[in-house]
């Protein structure tokens, strides 16, 4: 993936993330570090709804907000809640390759036919939802989107450290996006 860094040992973790819950996430997930007993949340994770994304983290370690494409738009209240009530100071925004929210138009027919077959919707109802709502869900290039979304959230929450990452579905590893 372009503009991403493999994290296969602790020396690959950039210095600004060392000793933070962001480094811990990479250690648990990529290095298979033994899962600690955790009593209070340390990290906020924003990621996609995709079933292939399975993170290896200890129980109680993180708040997780999942939305298509890791698009956090309309989830700001939940993010603010985790920051305010969970005393969260670090966030990992995790996109992934082969994301279904990229190039939605390619799946328009499948979307409509699937809703008709599985949900009992009319073709018109399904088509209307696709036409009205797909533009806001479309993320375009996955890496570029995560970077853009990180910058937007960083501006909104200036004291929170936000790390943009990608999850590669072929190897189930987390990669840092350089910016
Ligand atoms: Zn996705």
Give residue-wise pLDDT tens across range 3-40: 899 999 999 999 999 999 999 999 999 999 999 999 99
Question: Domain boundaries in the chain?
Answer: 4-102+139-177, 103-138
Q: What is the pLDDT of residue 99?
A: 98
Domain 4-102+139-177 carries which CATH code?
A: 3.40.1050.10
Give residue-wise pLDDT tens across range 94-122: 999 999 999 999 999 999 999 999 999 99
Write out the E strands in the chain.
4-6, 43-47, 62-66, 90-96, 161-168, 173-177
SS3 content of the chain, % helix, strand, coil (to 5): 40, 20, 40
71 CA from centroid of ligand 1 (Å) = 9
Q: What is the pLDDT of residue 63?
A: 98
Q: What is the pLDDT of residue 134?
A: 97
97 CA from centroid of ligand 1 (Å) = 7
Q: What is the pLDDT of residue 2?
A: 74
78 CA from centroid of ligand 1 (Å) = 19
Q: What is the pLDDT of residue 179?
A: 78
113 CA from centroid of ligand 1 (Å) = 20
Alpha helices, DSSP H, located in 49-176: 76-85, 108-119, 123-137, 142-156
- Cα–Cα distance for residue pair 74/101, rounded to 1 Å: 16
94 CA from centroid of ligand 1 (Å) = 10
Give residue-wise pLDDT tens across range 37-91: 999 999 999 999 999 999 999 999 999 999 999 999 999 999 999 999 999 999 9
- Cα–Cα distance for residue pair 83/56, rounded to 1 Å: 22
177 CA from centroid of ligand 1 (Å) = 16
Give residue-wise pLDDT tens across range 120-137: 999 999 999 999 999 999
């Amino acid at each position: 993936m372009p503009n991403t860094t493999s994290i296969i040992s602790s020396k690959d973790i950039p210095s600004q993330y060392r000793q933070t819950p962001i480094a811990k996430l990479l250690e648990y997930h990529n290095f298979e570090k033994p899962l600690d007993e955790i009593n209070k949340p340390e990290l906020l994770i924003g990621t996609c709804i995709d079933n292939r994304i399975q993170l290896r983290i200890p129980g109680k370690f993180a708040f997780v907000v999942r939305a298509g494409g890791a698009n956090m738009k309309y989830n700001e209240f939940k993010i603010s809640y985790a920051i305010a009530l969970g005393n969260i100071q670090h966030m990992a925004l995790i996109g992934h390759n082969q994301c279904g929210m990229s190039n939605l138009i390619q799946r328009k027919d499948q979307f409509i036919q699937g809703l008709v077959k599985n949900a009992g919707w009319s073709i018109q109802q399904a088509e209307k939802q696709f036409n009205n709502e797909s533009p806001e869900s479309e993320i375009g290039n996955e890496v570029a989107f995560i970077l853009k979304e990180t910058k937007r959230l960083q501006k909104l929450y200036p004291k929170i450290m936000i790390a943009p990452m990608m999850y590669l579905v072929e190897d189930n590893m987390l990669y840092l996006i350089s910016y």
